[in-house]
């Protein structure tokens, strides 16, 4: 068994649960947050930093690594673990999401996705079989089925994409040759309750070693995302891990855990860090602001991270204003520490049966970025990406 999930404790109230995922490269205490190392590196950090931060799972992107340096290069260098010098558990996505969000001129058919590289315009074809083959070369502990991410509120398209995702899930299973990797199925269905249920039922029928919930946090409201989780998670088997893909805002981690999610990943903490936006218990703080020019205090006086123990807001602001590389590193250390510490606190609270109170207390002090502002930020990002 490549990956084994052991449920350890379910909260007295609600569905939050403690567990452990064992993999050939070590175990992961869940609920867990996985930092994203898009190109086999978590931007601005090295694996020693990640270990010191207490990260137990790192995600890498199949699409990017397939295009550059190539899955065969990674395989020759000992797979991702050897190549990037990270000995702990690794998860790779299928590349599907990046094909839909990054690649140029993609064409989806029942067989797979034809697309052009965003790097050099070269043409490539991803099929379920090919994507499993690439992930076998990359060698992560947890790998993903190829899925089709539809516009979440276009019902006709979501239904078509769902049918394809299901056939592709069967083909991915059949294509798998390595027994030391766990292949997770991905539940889709947009924002439609009946389609989410149909997808969960179908994939559970295929008996995957874990289930991912995809196609959420892609522009729909938070209320709708939580509603989809309320519908989906209860039909998933209790003895398999549940992974909510691409979700990493603190409030979403708490709401996801409350609904029984075990794994999360997101570029949010690292991307925000590079934009000088830092998490605190009282919301995000932009350290570029003139207000901090002479601020001797840490980003967060209560934070135990390396950055907060050693550097002032004034120094971080200076590094960002001067474009110094250390700015990215120190900010990323703080933001990842914030989320990884939040997950440790969450696990501790579940164990002590105080999770509901912990969640309420955290959310009482943490201002949530409104849906409209998130949508504007997303639009700005997509526009920049297309330019």
Which residues of the chain form contacts with Zn ion (CB under 5 A)?
303, 305, 307-308, 334
**What would the DSSP string read from start to end of 250-270?**
HHHHHHHHHTT--EEEESHHH
Rg of the chain in Å (alpha carbons) = 20
Neighbouring CB atoms inside 10 A of 364's CB total 7
Output the smallest distance, CB 22 to Zn ion, in A: 30
Between β-strands 277-280 and 283-286, what pairing exists: parallel, antiparallel or unpaired? antiparallel
Of the pair 75, 285, the CB lying nearest Zn ion is at 285
Using alpha carbons, select from 236, 233, 252 the residue that is nearest to residue 371. 252
Q: Which of 93, 141, 147, 262 is catalytic?
A: 93
* Annotated catalytic residue 265: yes
Of the pair 36, 316, the CB lying nearest Zn ion is at 316
Output the smallest distance, CB 302 to Zn ion, in A: 9
Output the smallest distance, CB 55 to Zn ion, in A: 15
Neighbouring CB atoms inside 10 A of 217's CB total 22
Tokens of residue 367, six digits = 């201002």
Output the smallest distance, CB 39 to Zn ion, in A: 25
* Residues 6+ positions from 264 with CB-CB distance below 8 Å: 31, 32, 33, 34, 243, 244, 247, 248, 252, 253, 256
Output the smallest distance, CB 366 to Zn ion, in A: 16
CB-based contact 201:169 (threshold 8 Å): no
Of the pair 104, 345, the CB lying nearest Zn ion is at 345
Of the pair 315, 355, the CB lying nearest Zn ion is at 315
Of the pair 106, 288, the CB lying nearest Zn ion is at 288
Mapping DSSP to helix (H, G, I), strand (E, B) and coil, where does residue 20 land?
strand
Output the smallest distance, CB 303 to Zn ion, in A: 3
Mapping DSSP to helix (H, G, I), strand (E, B) and coil, where does residue 156 land?
helix
Of the pair 113, 287, the CB lying nearest Zn ion is at 287
CB-based contact 64:38 (threshold 8 Å): yes
* Annotated catalytic residue 93: yes
Q: Categorise residue 217: left if φ over 0, alpha if ψ from -120 to 50, beta otherwise.
A: left
Q: Which of 141, 262, 265, 300 is catalytic?
A: 265
Active site residues: 93, 265
């Amino acid at each position: 068994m490549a990956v084994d999930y052991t449920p350890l404790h379910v909260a007295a109230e609600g569905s939050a649960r403690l567990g452990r995922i064992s993999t050939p490269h070590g175990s992961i205490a869940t609920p867990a947050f996985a930092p994203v190392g898009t190109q086999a590196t978590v931007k601005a950090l090295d694996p020693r930093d990640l270990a010191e931060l207490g990260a137990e799972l790192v995600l890498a992107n199949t699409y990017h690594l397939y295009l550059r340096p190539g899955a065969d290069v990674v395989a020759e260098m000992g797979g991702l673990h050897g190549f990037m010098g990270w000995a702990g558990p690794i998860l790779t996505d299928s590349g599907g999401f990046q094909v839909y969000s990054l690649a140029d001129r993609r064409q989806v058919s029942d067989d797979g996705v034809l697309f052009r590289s965003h790097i050099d315009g070269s043409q490539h074809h991803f099929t379920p079989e090919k994507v499993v083959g690439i992930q076998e070369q990359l060698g992560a502990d947890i790998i993903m089925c190829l899925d089709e991410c539809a516009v979440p509120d276009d019902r006709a398209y979501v239904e078509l994409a769902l049918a394809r995702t299901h056939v592709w899930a069967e083909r991915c299973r059949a294509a798998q040759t390595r027994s030391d990797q766990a292949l997770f199925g991905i539940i889709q269905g947009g924002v439609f309750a009946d389609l989410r249920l149909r997808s969960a039922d179908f994939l559970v029928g295929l008996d995957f070693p874990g289930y991912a919930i995809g196609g959420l946090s892609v522009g729909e409201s938070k209320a709708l995302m939580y509603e989809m989780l309320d519908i989906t998670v209860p039909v998933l088997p209790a003895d398999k891990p549940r992974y909510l893909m691409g979700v990493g805002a603190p409030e979403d981690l708490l709401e996801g855990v409350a609904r029984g999610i075990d794994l999360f990943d997101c570029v949010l903490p690292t991307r925000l860090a590079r934009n000088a936006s830092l998490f605190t218990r009282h919301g995000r703080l932009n350290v570029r602001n003139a207000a901090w020019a002479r601020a001797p205090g840490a980003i967060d006086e209560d934070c135990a991270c390396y950055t907060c123990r050693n550097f002032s807001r004034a120094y971080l602001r200076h590094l960002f204003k001067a474009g110094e590389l250390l700015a990215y590193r120190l900010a990323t250390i703080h933001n990842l520490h914030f989320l990884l510490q939040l997950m440790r606190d969450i696990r501790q609270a579940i164990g002590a049966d105080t999770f509901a109170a912990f969640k309420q207390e955290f959310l009482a002090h943490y201002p949530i970025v409104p849906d409209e502002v998130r949508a504007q930020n997303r639009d700005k990002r997509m526009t920049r990406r297309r330019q």
